[in-house]
Amino acid sequence: YLALMEEEDEYIVPEAVWKRILLGVARQGRVDLCDKVLEIMASRSIPYTHVVVTAAIDAYAQLGNLSMIVRWYSVISAALSAQVDLSPARQNAVHIDGTTTSLGVEDRAGERIPYPPCTLEEPEGFIAYFIQLNELVWHRSALTSLIDAVGELGDEVLLMQLWKDISHFRLKVVTLRLSPQIYMALARSLAWHELLGQYANTLILWIRDESNGFSASQQTEAEDFIKQCLENNKNALRRPKFRPKIADDNQELLEEAEAEAEAEADFDATGEDEYLLSSQVPV
Q: Please list the residues that pair with 95 across neighbouring strands.
A: 135
Least confident range of 67-71, 112-116, 207-211, 262-266: 262-266
Residue bearing the bigger pLDDT, 90 or 146: 146
Q: What is the mean pLDDT of residues 205-226?
A: 94
The CA distances from residue 24 to 28, 52, 114, 188, in Å, are 7, 12, 26, 24
The Cα 68–Cα 155 span in angstroms is 15
The Cα 275–Cα 273 span in angstroms is 5
Q: What pLDDT is recorded for position 279?
A: 31
Q: What is the mean pLDDT of residues 174-188?
A: 93
**Is 202's pLDDT higher than 80?**
yes
The CA distances from residue 90 to 41, 82, 101, in Å, are 27, 11, 15
Residue 129's closest CA among 198, 242, 50?
Answer: 50
Please report which confidence band the pLDDT of residue 88 belongs to, taking 50, 70 and 90 as the band edges. Answer: confident
Q: Please list the residues that pair with 135 across neighbouring strands.
A: 95
Neighbour count for residue 259 (Cβ, 10 Å): 11
Q: What pLDDT is recorded for position 32?
A: 95
pLDDT one-digit tens code per residue, 93-146:
888 775 543 333 444 445 678 899 899 999 999 999 999 988 899 999 999 999
Please report which confidence band the pLDDT of residue 56 belongs to, taking 50, 70 and 90 as the band edges. Answer: very high
Please report which confidence band the pLDDT of residue 240 belongs to, taking 50, 70 and 90 as the band edges. Answer: confident
Please report which confidence band the pLDDT of residue 180 belongs to, taking 50, 70 and 90 as the band edges. Answer: very high
Q: What pLDDT is recorded for position 76?
A: 97
Please report which confidence band the pLDDT of residue 211 belongs to, taking 50, 70 and 90 as the band edges. Answer: confident
Residue 7's closest CA among 40, 46, 42?
Answer: 40
